[in-house]
Chains A and B, each alone.
Chain A
Amino acid sequence: NAGVTQTPKFQVLKTGQSMTLQCAQDMNHNSMYWYRQDPGMGLRLIYYSASEGTTDKGEVPNGYNVSRLNKREFSLRLESAAPSQTSVYFCASSRQGVSVLVGYTFGSGTRLTVV
């Protein structure tokens, strides 16, 4: 099983450029999440999708949009990248509805630099 797959692993953007981070899971999980990790800040939730067809804002949604394309895929889009969006982005999925306590499965991350 691949688990949670994120692409690309690394990306450098110029200020104002747009891009989409892709995430796919093969565990038949119904919930998916996008987090960003910044030094000294821990992981912060950007958006989540509790189930196919729904999306909700997390702690830091400004400057991002998401699409839950189907049960497997959840993409994160930066419409006009800013240096403040330089971060490591993690996608995660979980079997919500079973137990909150089973934890999330994370992808290996996308390191994004905006210059």
Chain B
Amino acid sequence: DQQVKQNSPSLSVQEGRISILNCDYTNSMFDYFLWYKKYPAEGPTFLISISSIKDKNEDGRFTVFLNKSAKHLSLHIVPSQPGDSAVYFCAASANTGNQFYFGTGTSLTVIP
């Protein structure tokens, strides 16, 4: 029933290395994909997005890759920093953008 899945509840990475967070979806109608970052006791904050017409989008240390045929997207963080330690959610929506479906989140820990 979960249309957006993040199968890794947690991930630990050494500072300076690459962090790769994965997300899978089941609905082929999804056109828009967003990543959010969440610190404890705060709301999610928007990080980066991609539409289905692209397969890659970069913003500084953050890159999102989209593989539509596999219904898979990933977030790469290079280099990882201790301040990146947070829970990361992926979210997907069809063309209206009014109803985003969120994954269950991946807790990233960057070890100094």
- What is the number of contacts between chain A and chain B, taking CB atoms within 8 Å? 67
| Whole-angstrom CA separation of A48 from B97 in the bound complex | 11
Determine whether the beta carbon of B104 is less than 8 Å from that of A105: no
Determine whether the beta carbon of A108 is less than 8 Å from that of B42: yes
Residues of B within 8 A of A (CB): 2, 4, 6, 31-32, 34, 36, 41-47, 49-51, 89, 91, 93, 96-105
Determine whether the beta carbon of B104 is less than 8 Å from that of A40: yes
What are the 3 closest A-B residue pairs judged by CB atoms, nearest first? A103-B46, A106-B43, A100-B97
Residues of B within 8 A of A4 (CB): 43
Determine whether the beta carbon of B32 is less than 8 Å from that of A45: no
Residues of A within 8 A of B45 (CB): 106
Determine whether the beta carbon of A43 is less than 8 Å from that of B98: no
Residues of A within 8 A of B93 (CB): 100
Q: A90-B44, A105-B46, A109-B43 are in contact. Are A43 and B102 (CB under 8 A)?
A: yes
Determine whether the beta carbon of A45 is less than 8 Å from that of B46: no
A75 within 8 A of B: no
